[in-house]
Chains A and B, each alone.
Chain A
Amino acid sequence: MLRRRLNRLLGGDERRVDNRTIYIGHRSCPASEVFIPPKFCDNRIVSSKYTVWNFLPKNLFEQFRRIANFYFLIIFLVQVIVDTPTSPVTSGLPLFFVITVTAIKQGYEDWLRHKADNEVNKYPVTVLEDGRRINKESEKIKVGDVVEVKEDETFPCDLILLQSSRDDGTCFVTTASLDGESNHKTHYMVPDTEKDLEALNATIECEQPQPDLYKFTGRMHIYKNNQEPAVSPLGPENLLLKGATLKNTQKICGVAVYTGMETKMALNYQGKSQKRSAVEKSINAFLLVYLCILVSKALVCTTLKYVWQSNPGHDEPWYNEKTQREKDTNLYLKMFTDFLSFMVLFNFIIPVSMYVTVEMQKFLGSFFITWDKDFFDPEIEEGALVNTSDLNEELGQVEYVFTDKTGTLTQNNMEFIECCIDGFQYKYRDVSTELDGFCVTDGPVSKLQEKAGREKEELFLRALCLCHTVQVKEATEQCQGQGDGLIDQVDGLGVDGEVHQLLQEQRGFIASSPDEIALVKGAMRYGFTYLGLESKTMKIMNRHSEIEMYELLHVLNFDPVRRRMSVIVRSRSGDTLLFCKGADSSIFPRVRQEEVERIRMHVERNATEGYRTLCVAFKRLSAEEYAQADEGLREARLAMQDREERLMAVYNQVETGMSLIGATAVEDRLQEEAAETMEALQGAGMKVWVLTGDKMETAKSTCYACRLFQKNTELLELTVRTLEDESKTREQRLHDLLLEYHKKAVQDALPIKAGVTRSWSMSNQDYGFIIDGATLTMVFNSSESNSSSYKSLLLQICQNCTAVLCCRMAPLQKAQIVKMVKNSKGSPITLSIGDGANDVSMILEAHVGIGIKGKEGRQAVRNSDYAIPKLKHLKKLLLAHGHLYYVRIAHLVQYFFYKNLCFILPQFLYQFFCGYSQQPLYDAAYLTMYNICFTSMPILAYSLLEQHICIEVLLDNATLYREIAKNAMLRWGPFLYWTLLGVFHGLLFFFGVRCLFSNPALQDNGQVFGNWSYGTIVFTVLVFTVTLKLALDTRHWTWINHFVIWGSLAFYVFFSFFWGGIIWPFLKQQRLYFVFANMLSSVSAWLVIILLILLSLLPEILLVVLRKPRGPHARQKKLAQSSVGGLQSPRSSARPLLMRTFSDESNTVI
């Protein structure tokens, strides 16, 4: 008997090439075929990328595939080959540093992988060969080997379970290392295998390796004494995955089916596609601009050089003759090498160190998320998890939030609220509902006194007790009953010894879905207790404390398409009964229509209250009917091909003509602070879309509860229901509605948006949009010409709504929606948050994927970029961390470009004074050290520690998030500002010192300064200005900032003394010998340095003062304002916009 929720089994009867045949124990079969030992890969796991031999070339190749590295390599090579002004060391050293650090990091990681691989590959395993037990290394296992695994050992490869030490032919497994689920899962022996593995003569036919952990199809042919081989189906429940651990079972034997790199675990090790952040794209754009600047600078210089040289006195004066080689070189070749030389001279404008710093910032910065104790959830004892550090800053740029409902907005912690039997309401009230702020509109609700007939009542409760896949958890942990691919330990109830007391309330249940537990518990409250399943017999205790036994014949599993599940049981009296429960939409068409109306009212009322409703139906099967169903099911389950479709067909055939007996309502509580979080997100200017597979009414009420929809929100509904119109076809109606909504939400709203002077009164109408999966499919699949226009209409409507609810979504549709928004105009940054496997697609699709460490397994977490324990943590993650990271990295990027521009601009200007001869202004040491030592640490510290606004304020005032929306700090405006600043500083440095040097006699003893003194003065001004500029931008001075900023400056001074204080034997020229010291002995040099630093920073100070005329005092005022506004304004998101216009106005006036 198979009870699988996720066994979407495939298969087919005809032999397919992509099946593999495995001979158990390598014994040839009596079947007619010739035994050909098939070739499969060995059981070695190779997760490492490199070996000792290929590490260097392979790693270098991979590193130089990065454009930036390649560019620097080219520059370096040019320096080596061509006679260039700066020595190859100046660019070679940083590049070497970067490459080495990266190589060491990657090498270390690979070494770890090697170690892990070895640990796995050399792990001793026991293989049964010809009756003997042979110890082998794990990597020597071949497909077809029979492997013995003991308790608490991990499976060395993917095995088909042949024998278990447990009597019932099961074993327990934990797949914590595969999918993070730490509960025990039951796996089954292949039925009908003999106890004596020696004598077992069988082949396994199974599909070729594929990565889905929950899918497996195959069958086993067992040959017995030349009889017709017996065939058993194999499913994922028979497959023990490599990496999982055996639990609670002494030992098992299994046959290896997939080994080494073909195991499911190894196949799942595929890197997720790299997501790139918007900041990175900005960097690349800026890089292009700077590359253009660089090339044009080099071109200008080269041209001018040859113009200048056309004057005979300039080209080769008597005091400066060319070497013979120079004279012999071809003119055009010379021009080209001159161009390259200029490129090399100015190449520092594109900073190699920026890449390192950005990487380091991202890597180190992400630790702050994992370290944040606010993200720590005491319940699951875990904090946030960062799977990628590349997207930190993207968290500060989110415009659209796509959230799952169940488990994300709601707790997925179900509570049985009421049921309705045959139209009568039964309400069990011992827990007060916590849907605050919602008064139930009491319709014609039946009173408790009115009861349905006792018989119907008991039938309903029996149905609740039988129609599920719940297991009873006992102290021995011997989970009886049906294994399930996805059993989650859902409830905290029933821990430890308390189970022994047969106190019903403390009974522990384990089920794949929390709804089921809630229902079983609900039934318990009414006196029907599910006792468990023993050898295919379900026991329940009825109201009279009698034990009723039902033989479980079939489970028709739940799946999201059918949205229902059924069981077929046989009672003691011999009746064969089918109980079915499922969503109203999937049950109602399958029951007698006259029963529907009575219950529909309850279902709808419950749905609007935010409860999850299920309808329960039953059917008595006649013997023939059962026989037919039984045969159909067995046949379908053995099928190798289209197994799922066949099963579905049989299910659909069986589940018809039922009678509706009742409905249940289960409350799914909102997550902690769900409403506050949503409000904060909306306040921050994000649009929140709820994408759920749940039904519209339930989802809508959740939206109301989360304050995504407000009372005055006008709902635009585009669902199957609104499309129902007698007079028109659905397509026509869709067309009309879309146009109508578009007019309402988009066209009429436009003038409102433009009006700045409006106050936040009620006249600003909010719209909420609701669409369901079926309609969405219609929109996407409508005829070619309309499809795109419908899509854009839909998108425009959605974008003008404050909140959008998409219900009844299939996982793929969720991803479709995300993709649609992602690719819409302006390509907004999207974020998906979800907790279940059904959210994975949208998590992967969105720019940023957030997983919630919820109850639905770990798949979402595994595929996410960031994982947080609770929804409420999203607020801090975005508003505080995201905002800060964005500001930090944006500033980092702009600053880097700025500091290199004003570093290299004087060098460029100097060419005009040195005959375009590529004479560097700065000494080679300065050129090399500038980005590595003198100016790297302060910006790194800044980019890790800066809090331009402290975290509390960011959290309290969500509107601040809007200030950085749309990549505000990395647009062309700010970029231009920084570039101009760099140009201004560069000009100032150069010409300031140029004016000073109109008389180079700067010392009080009349001695003169030369060109290296010139460069050193410029460089000193540069280092100080650039560092102080950062100091000026630093709003948050921790001791680290103080240390690195003042430390860098001190280091610069110290280094300069040191570098100039010694005749370095390895240097060809002692250019800087005592230059720095002499410079400091000149009062004029001091004065000009101070003057230039101050003058450079003056506009900056001025701008800072003008930009932020309000101090903390004003900020408090603003805060007070907004909180007042929050109370007054019914709409939270209207107010910040107007707040902003106020402050903007005052800025522009000044």
Chain B
Amino acid sequence: MMASSYNAKEEDGHPPSGSSHGGAGAVKSKKPDNTAFKQQRLPAWQPILTAGTVLPAFFVIGLIFIPIGIGLYVTSNNIKEFEVDYTGVDIDRPCYSCAMNFSWNSTTPCLCSVEFTLQQPFESNVFMYYGLSNFYQNHRRYVKSRDDSQLNGDRSSLTNPSKECEPYRTSDGLPIAPCGAIANSLFNDTLELYHIDSNGTRNAIPLVKKGIAWWTDKHVKFRNPGGNNNLTAAFHGTAKPVNWRKPVYELDPLDNDNNGFINEDFIVWMRTAALPTFRKLYRIIQKKSSTTPTLPSGRYVLDITYNYPVLSFDGRKRMILSTISWMGGKNPFLGIAYITVGSICFFLGVVLLIIHHKYDTRNNSADIPS
């Protein structure tokens, strides 16, 4: 029928037979259904926020947030943190010479040591971080310069890394494993910590290098090609990243479970930081006994194998010792924020109460003349 000629929504339900006249059934169907949905009468909850309903909420929020905030603040304050900058910018710093004389070609590593004193003993497990400043791990060119399928143990990606890895994709015609800027710039300073006891002897503090990376990264996301045994063969035909001193299968030759792509230092590094100033977990100092603190107060020496140049981009290197609570590392922000918000809520509650009270009387008085 000619229905086509008109707006589709127009009613033109006349069948071509022309028998459209007086079809009672057709007419009846035109009556809209009386359903709650179609009549916009669905049962509905109609909350109206009033001072009356919100007031208690404000007080409750205030009452919950302030204690939480205090708890967070106290927890954060109880976390012991010690930080030492060992970049060696100033001439009087121990690592000054290492920092100044850095060259990519030197075969002998530059060593330096920093002495420091812990005023307070560190109880429980102590976490050792290295921190970098002004290091843009979140730069786009940097972040994308990796090949996750290569890191996942994919053999074809091993020999033919992703284009994203440029300009760290191949070296002398061989594919780089692990490719990319992130892997290439792996933090390779070695930090060793010694406690100097009262008679001046250096006691090496055992540093655990496992458990610093996310479990899922270590066990799923990062895989060595062809299992963890015989990595040398697996990585045959690949080149080491240009800035590395040793190939990937020698990252931790003593421990097969921590070698190659599943080396935890490497995995930690591969998780790019959010901000240009960041810290990454380096080692864990485990608590030995319940009686003695993990790190008693006193003098310590940090021995650094200075391999990582940061001065060229005005960066800084730090070593951080920190205990950890249920909320993570030391960060007073959350505690302060919670206390502030809680107080604001409480204050607003009081203000609202006053306004509410005042308004009611106003409203009544306004009603009278009308």
Residues of A near any B CB (own CB < 8 A): 45, 47-48, 85, 109, 112-113, 116-117, 119-120, 123, 152-154, 174, 176-178, 182, 242-243, 245-247, 265-266, 268-269, 313-314, 317-324, 367-368, 370-373, 375-376, 381-383, 385-388, 862, 913-915, 917-919, 945, 947, 950-951, 992, 994-1015, 1032, 1035-1041, 1063, 1067-1070, 1073-1074, 1077-1078, 1082-1084, 1087-1088, 1091, 1094-1095, 1098, 1101-1102, 1104-1106, 1108-1112, 1114, 1117, 1121, 1124-1125, 1142, 1146, 1149-1150
Contact = CB atoms under 8 A, between A and B. Distances in A.
Given A370-B32, A1000-B278, A1082 B143 contact: no
Contact of A1109 (B28, B51, B221, B331): B51
Nearest to B360: A1109
A484 to B, nearest CB: 20
Interface stretch (B87-95, B170-178, B248-256, B338-346): B338-346
Contacts of B164: 1068-1069
B66 interface: no
Interface in B155-186: 162, 164, 166-168, 181, 184-185
Contacts of A375: 32
Given A319-B184, A382-B30, A1035-B48, A1070 B2 contact: no
Interface string B15-43: 01111110000011011111000111011
Closest 5 CB pairs of A and B: A319-B185, A116-B4, A1001-B329, A313-B313, A1014-B274
Contact of B30 (A116, A381, A1006, A1037): A381
A995 B337 contact: yes
Contacts of A994: 275
B46 A1037 contact: yes
Interface in B55-77: 57, 61, 65, 68, 72
A902 to B, nearest CB: 19
B59 to A, nearest CB: 13
Contact of A1070 (B20, B148, B331, B352): B148
B333 A995 contact: yes
Contacts of B139: 320, 914-915, 917, 919
Given A112-B4, A112-B8, A113-B4, A1010 B274 contact: yes
B359 A1146 contact: yes
B274 A154 contact: no
Contacts of B213: 1007
B119 interface: no
Given A1005-B211, A1011-B137, 11 more contacts: A85-B140, A116-B1, A319-B181, A862-B10, A996-B333, A1000-B273, A1063-B220, A1073-B221, A1074-B221, A1110-B50, A1146-B366
Contacts of B46: 950, 1035-1037
Nearest to A1086: B327
Interface stretch (B193-201, B231-239, B318-326): B318-326
A841 to B, nearest CB: 19
Contact of A914 (B43, B136, B344): B136
A913 B42 contact: no
Given A152-B17, A1108-B50, A1087 B4 contact: no
Contact of B1 (A85, A154, A918, A1067): A154
Given A914-B138, A996-B333, A1082-B328, A1112 B1 contact: no
A1068 B220 CA distance: 16
B136 A317 contact: yes
B262 interface: no
Given A119-B16, A915-B139, A1004 B309 contact: no
B348 interface: yes
A840 B135 CA distance: 72
Given A45-B4, A1004-B327, A1074-B216, A917 B341 contact: no
A1088 B48 CA distance: 28
Nearest to B129: A1001
Nearest to A384: B32
A386 B32 CA distance: 14
A996 B333 CA distance: 7
A917 B272 CA distance: 15
A995 B268 CA distance: 22
Nearest to A1061: B216
Which interface residue of B46, B51, B168, B326 has the most chain A CB atoms within 10 A? B46
B52 interface: yes
Interface of B: 1-12, 14, 16-21, 27-28, 30-34, 38-40, 42-52, 54, 57, 61, 65, 68, 72, 125, 127, 129, 134-149, 152, 162, 164, 166-168, 181, 184-185, 211-214, 216-217, 220-221, 243, 268, 271-276, 278-281, 284, 309, 312-315, 322, 324-331, 333-334, 337-338, 341, 344-345, 348, 352, 355-356, 359, 362-363, 366-367, 370
A1067 B16 CA distance: 55
Given A319-B142, A1004-B328, A177 B2 contact: yes
Contacts of B8: 109, 112
Given A914-B139, A1142-B366, A1007 B14 contact: no
Contact of A1036 (B44, B65, B328): B44
A917 B50 CA distance: 47
Contacts of B144: 1069
Contacts of B1: 116, 119-120, 154, 177, 243
B164 to A, nearest CB: 7
Contacts of A1013: 274
A1109 B353 CA distance: 12
A318 B312 contact: yes
26 contacts: A109-B8, A120-B1, A153-B18, A243-B1, A243-B5, A313-B312, A913-B276, A914-B139, A917-B141, A919-B139, A951-B40, A999-B331, A1006-B281, A1007-B281, A1035-B46, A1039-B43, A1068-B162, A1070-B148, A1084-B327, A1088-B334, A1091-B65, A1098-B341, A1110-B363, A1111-B52, A1149-B362, A1150-B359
A1070 B150 CA distance: 12
A1004 B2 contact: no
Which interface residue of B134, B148, B184, B328 has the most chain A CB atoms within 10 A? B328
A376 B33 CA distance: 10
Nearest to B338: A1091
Contacts of A109: 8
Given A243-B5, A385-B11, A1091-B338, A1007 B212 contact: yes
A919 B138 CA distance: 7
B274 A1000 contact: yes
A174 B19 CA distance: 11
A345 to B, nearest CB: 10
A507 to B, nearest CB: 22
Contacts of A386: 9
Contacts of A367: 38
A542 to B, nearest CB: 37
B14 A1039 contact: no
Nearest to A951: B40
Which interface residue of A376, A385, A915 has the most chain B CB atoms within 10 A? A915
A999 B328 contact: yes
Given A376-B31, A387-B9, A1007-B212, A1039 B42 contact: yes
A348 to B, nearest CB: 17
B146 A1069 contact: yes
A47 B127 CA distance: 76
Contacts of A1010: 271-274
B55 to A, nearest CB: 9
Contacts of B61: 1094
Contacts of A1108: 48-50
B354 to A, nearest CB: 11
B127 A1001 contact: yes
Contacts of B366: 1142, 1146
A1001 B312 contact: no
B40 A945 contact: yes
Contacts of A951: 40
A1078 B220 CA distance: 14
